[in-house]
């Protein structure tokens, strides 16, 4: 039980609990003493893990399974539509309903909070911060978007004074946080259904950065100016070396080794190191801790080898910048061929960024594109938009490289099973359910 809160009188039901963020908040709410339940559309490993922790988590949104309690509080994922049957039942019963940002605001008010924002790199950077603080004896709480491999969890309340959270701009929930320290990794338009322009997004980040005591930001004028007059640590990656073993760089006079490949991950690590220093961690201890960081779930995660001997790597990349960075990182492993399977996420993103996705994917030797994972959007609202737009753009940008259109994941699985050869690296990319293909290919 945490010394700073006792939620033993609360009853919380999470609608959309299978998402990485929501499952973490459900876990922490239970650790704080609340009676917790939750539902999601389909069965998943996240639901299984929640049940293993004693939480009533089930597949299928069923109004009849809502706990019978007048003081029940519902926490709603931003991916859940208004017409959800559990939400409709809650309205009939007059139950309290919260957006996820409201609960996160409550949690950040209980601890000194480190908030990590940015279009890309939030989960990896948050994971490195959490790992550093754990390894140096600070026992932090953390709520991150992927499983921290060293602990096997995506959330824990801990017993220390710090809480590490991701600051999500997609629904502006970052503006609800009470953060003492903040990191912004980058500012790039990703959620086109929620923002009309990059200028609008920049104003949201400007508001977010107005509150923390100190901010850790890339040493780039267009990001630094968002902080205004508050204290800031501007970071760069110094003396960077990349190879198949990861990266090495110098920080605060310390030689740092990171097992994750790619220049983007080195930058994430420097941001994490800077905020750990502000949180009271000794520089030498922080640098040493980074060396044992094993990564987080769905972030350049090695799933194993195919029957043909191809290395299968799963990554959550779902924006052109992320796809390009992941492909560049995989190149440092010197594959015989680099094969990229990409599942687009959201019709709105596909419509706006098809050309950019094509250019990013064309850096692979073989490209396979499946259809769009719709998530909270409907295909009928985006006529003519599908994954083939990205496949065509990759073919146009690819200088004759092989590009394959595999509308379903079954098509993609069968195609890759017949095409992979020894020495290949196969990247399985996307924020939807494309990971299942990688899991099936890895033996």
Task: Report the relative pairing of strands 238-243 and 246-251 from DSSP bridges.
Answer: antiparallel
Q: E-assigned strands of 177-272?
A: 181-184, 214-218, 232-235, 238-243, 246-251, 254-258
Give the H/E segment covering residue 156.
Answer: strand 153-156
| Cα–Cα dist 132/273, whole Å | 8
Q: Cβ neighbours of residue 429 under 8 Å, at least 6 residues apart?
A: 315, 317, 318, 323, 326, 340, 341, 342, 343
Write down the catalytic residue from 35, 113, 123, 124: 123
Q: How many helices (H) and strands (E) does the chain have?
A: 14, 21
Instruction: Find out whether 32 and 156 touch, Cβ atoms under 8 Å.
Output: no
Write down the catalytic residue from 35, 73, 86, 122: 122
| Cα–Cα dist 319/189, whole Å | 9
Active-site annotation holds for 166: yes
Sign of the dihedral defined by the CA atoms of residues 360, 363, 364, 366, in that order: positive
| Cα–Cα dist 155/428, whole Å | 25
Phi-psi region of 298 (alpha: psi -120 to 50; beta: other; left: phi over 0): left
Write down the catalytic residue from 73, 166, 180, 377: 166
Q: Cβ neighbours of residue 152 under 8 Å, at least 6 residues apart?
A: none
Q: Which residue has the tokens 């924006």?
A: 319
| Cα–Cα dist 218/229, whole Å | 16
Q: Which residue has the tokens 């923390």?
A: 212
Crossing angle of helices 122-135 and 283-290, rounded to 10°: 120
Active-site annotation holds for 123: yes
DSSP single-letter state for residue 432: S
Question: Could you give the angle at the alpha carbon of 60 between the alpha carbons of 58 and 63, nearest 5°?
Answer: 95
Active-site annotation holds for 122: yes
DSSP single-letter state for residue 378: -
Structure tokens at 424: 């290949």
Residue in 358, 344, 285, 295 with CA at minimum distance from that of residue 121:
295
Instruction: Find out whether 226 and 202 touch, Cβ atoms under 8 Å.
Output: yes
Instruction: Find out whether 391 and 411 touch, Cβ atoms under 8 Å.
Output: no
Residues recognised as catalytic: 122-123, 166
């Amino acid at each position: 039980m945490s010394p700073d809160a006792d939620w033993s009188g609360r009853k919380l039901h999470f609608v959309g609990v299978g998402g990485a963020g929501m499952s973490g908040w459900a876990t922490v709410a239970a650790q704080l003493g609340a009676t917790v339940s939750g539902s999601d559309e389909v069965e998943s490993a996240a639901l299984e893990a929640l049940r293993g922790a004693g939480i009533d988590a089930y597949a299928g949104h069923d109004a009849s399974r809502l706990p019978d309690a007048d003081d029940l509080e519902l926490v709603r994922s931003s991916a859940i539509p208004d017409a959800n049957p559990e939400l409709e039942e809650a309205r009939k019963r007059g139950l309290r309903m919260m957006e996820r940002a409201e609960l996160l605001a409550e949690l950040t008010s209980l601890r000194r909070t480190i908030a990590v924002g940015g279009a890309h790199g939030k989960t990896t950077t948050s994971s490195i911060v959490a790992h550093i603080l754990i390894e140096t004896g600070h026992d932090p709480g953390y709520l991150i978007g992927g499983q921290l491999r060293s602990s096997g969890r995506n959330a824990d309340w801990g017993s220390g004074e710090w809480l590490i959270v991701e600051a999500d701009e997609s629904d502006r929930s970052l503006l609800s946080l009470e953060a003492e320290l903040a990191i912004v990794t980058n500012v790039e338009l990703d959620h086109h259904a929620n923002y009309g322009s990059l200028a609008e997004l920049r104003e949201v980040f400007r508001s977010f950065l107005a509150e923390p005591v100190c901010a850790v930001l890339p040493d780039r004028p267009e990001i630094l100016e968002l902080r205004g007059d508050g204290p800031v640590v501007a970071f760069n990656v110094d003396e960077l070396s990349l190879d198949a073993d990861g990266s090495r760089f110098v920080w605060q006079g310390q030689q740092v080794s990171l097992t994750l490949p790619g220049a983007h991950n080195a930058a994430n690590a420097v941001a994490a190191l800077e905020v750990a220093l502000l949180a009271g961690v000794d520089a030498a201890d922080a640098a040493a801790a980074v060396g044992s960081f094993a990564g987080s779930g769905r972030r350049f995660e090695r799933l194993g080898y195919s029957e043909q001997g191809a290395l299968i790597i799963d990554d959550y990349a779902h924006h052109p910048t992320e796809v390009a960075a992941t492909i560049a990182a995989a190149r440092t492993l010197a594959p015989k061929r680099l094969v990229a399977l990409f599942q687009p996420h959201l019709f709105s993103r596909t419509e706006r960024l098809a050309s950019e996705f094509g250019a990013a994917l064309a850096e692979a030797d073989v490209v396979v594109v499946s259809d769009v994972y719709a998530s909270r959007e409907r295909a009928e609202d985006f006529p003519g938009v599908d994954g083939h737009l990205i496949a065509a753009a990759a073919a146009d940008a690819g200088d004759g490289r092989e590009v394959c259109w595999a509308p379903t994941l079954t098509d993609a699985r069968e195609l890759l099973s017949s095409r992979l050869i020894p020495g290949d690296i196969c990247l399985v990319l996307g924020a939807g359910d494309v990971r299942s293909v990688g899991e099936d290919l890895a033996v």
